[in-house]
């Protein structure tokens, strides 16, 4: 069966991802044209012919509120202009952490956001979404979805750069990533117990008696945002005499001070996957994302 031609369109901030995907997929890419009207509304224009194509909108959804409306307008326009299908490659998928009503009256934004994107797209490809109380994307997204795991690439990096790592997850939720990476590397692993009292107020403690003092501590989490979780874990390890950790994050949401505060606290190196553009990006995800696109669009 003949496949439709692929075409990648970069969402705001997604140009380098779009170019890398297009290179791997051997197809063209183009930027979405945006115009900001004086009244605060946004005009969206697709400057390439999409008729008969499988259109892939590419861009990470960190800082999602300004990116989501252009994404929906672009997806709707591509379909109206004759695209056969429209998918989204968002290496970081937003609004996955508000997966329950933590306080009375709160919106469960994971569900609303999934409903909104599902209404305009045919498929979604992402890297390690924050799945906690929601176990698979299919529980909230009604379109085809594919998750690209970062663990094999992180494990490959650790195998070639760190002798005898000890994988440590800063909270119970991180066990899914930590266990997988540790298994692939053949290293011991532990998760800490975390208490979050506020956006920037986090406490951690060692939940088990297990210690691997001869190993290099490697803190691993899916998201580094304010850096408070990694900071609390770093301080704990240092206080326990377990050495300066390496911090590995999948998604580098990093606020302005997070990386420098981690380095000042004694972290030996901070490294992340390039799902969100940041100076710490070390592990490239585009080739694996392109493979996922080929599979899901077939």
Residues that bind ligand R5P (CB under 6 A): 97, 171, 173-174, 202, 221-229
Q: Smallest distance, Å, CB 231 to ligand R5P?
A: 8
Of 139 and 201, nearer to ligand R5P (C-beta) is 201
Which DSSP letter does residue 11 get?
Answer: P
Q: Smallest distance, Å, CB 109 to ligand R5P?
A: 14
Of 64 and 287, nearer to ligand R5P (C-beta) is 64
Of 74 and 202, nearer to ligand R5P (C-beta) is 202
Q: Smallest distance, Å, CB 225 to ligand R5P?
A: 3
- Beta strand spans in the chain (E): 6-10, 28-31, 33-36, 42-45, 54-58, 85-89, 123-127, 144-148, 165-169, 189-198, 201-206, 216-224, 246-252, 269-273, 281-283
User: Which two structure tokens, joined as six digits, stand for 211?
Assistant: 């210690």
Of 146 and 225, nearer to ligand R5P (C-beta) is 225
Sheet holding 123-127, edge to edge: 28-31, 6-10, 54-58, 85-89, 123-127, 144-148
| Integer Rg of the chain from CA | 20
Q: Smallest distance, Å, CB 173 to ligand R5P?
A: 5
Of 94 and 202, nearer to ligand R5P (C-beta) is 202
**160: Cα separation from own chain's centroid:** 23
In angstroms, the CA 193 to CA 186 distance is 23
Of 22 and 246, nearer to ligand R5P (C-beta) is 246
Of 20 and 167, nearer to ligand R5P (C-beta) is 167
Q: How far is CA 162 from CA 98, 112, 155, 194, in A?
A: 34, 41, 10, 26
Q: Smallest distance, Å, CB 145 to ligand R5P?
A: 20
Q: Smallest distance, Å, CB 257 to ligand R5P?
A: 11
In angstroms, the CA 107 to CA 71 distance is 22
Q: Smallest distance, Å, CB 101 to ligand R5P?
A: 16
Reported residue count of the chain is 298
User: Which two structure tokens, joined as six digits, stand for 83?
Assistant: 């695209």
Q: What is the DSSP pairing of strand 33-36 with strand 42-45? A: antiparallel
Q: Smallest distance, Å, CB 154 to ligand R5P?
A: 15
Q: Is 84 exposed, middle or buried (0-12, 13-18, 19+ CB in 10 A)?
A: middle
Of 173 and 180, nearer to ligand R5P (C-beta) is 173
């Amino acid at each position: 069966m003949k496949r439709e031609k692929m075409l990648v369109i970069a969402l705001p901030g997604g140009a380098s991802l779009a170019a890398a995907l297009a290179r791997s997929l051997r197809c063209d890419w183009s930027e979405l044209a945006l115009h900001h009207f004086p009244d605060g509304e946004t005009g969206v224009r697709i400057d390439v012919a999409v008729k008969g194509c499988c259109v892939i909108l590419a861009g990470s959804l960190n800082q999602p509120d300004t990116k989501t409306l252009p994404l929906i307008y672009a997806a709707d326009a591509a379909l109206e202009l004759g695209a056969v299908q429209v998918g989204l490659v968002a290496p970081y998928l937003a609004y996955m952490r508000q997966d329950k009503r933590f306080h009375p009256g709160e919106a469960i934004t994971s569900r609303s956001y999934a409903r909104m994107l599902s209404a305009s797209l045919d498929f979604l490809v992402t890297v390690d979404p924050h799945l906690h109380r929601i176990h698979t994307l299919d529980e909230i997204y009604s379109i085809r979805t594919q998750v690209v795991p970062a663990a094999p690439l992180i494990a490959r990096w650790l195998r070639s750069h760190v002798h005898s790592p000890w994988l440590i997850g800063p909270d119970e939720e991180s066990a899914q990533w930590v266990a997988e990476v540790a298994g692939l590397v053949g290293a011991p692993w532990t998760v800490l117990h975390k208490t979050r009292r506020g956006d920037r107020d986090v406490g951690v403690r060692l939940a088990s008696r297990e210690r691997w003092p001869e190993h290099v501590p490697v803190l691993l989490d899916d998201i580094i945002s304010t850096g408070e979780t990694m900071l609390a874990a770093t301080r704990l390890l240092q206080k326990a005499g377990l050495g300066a950790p390496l911090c590995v994050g999948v998604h580098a949401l990093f606020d302005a001070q997070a990386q420098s505060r981690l380095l000042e606290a004694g972290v030996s190196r901070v490294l992340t996957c390039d799902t969100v553009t940041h100076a710490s990006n070390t592990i490239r995800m585009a080739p694996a994302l392109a493979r996922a696109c080929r599979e899901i669009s077939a």
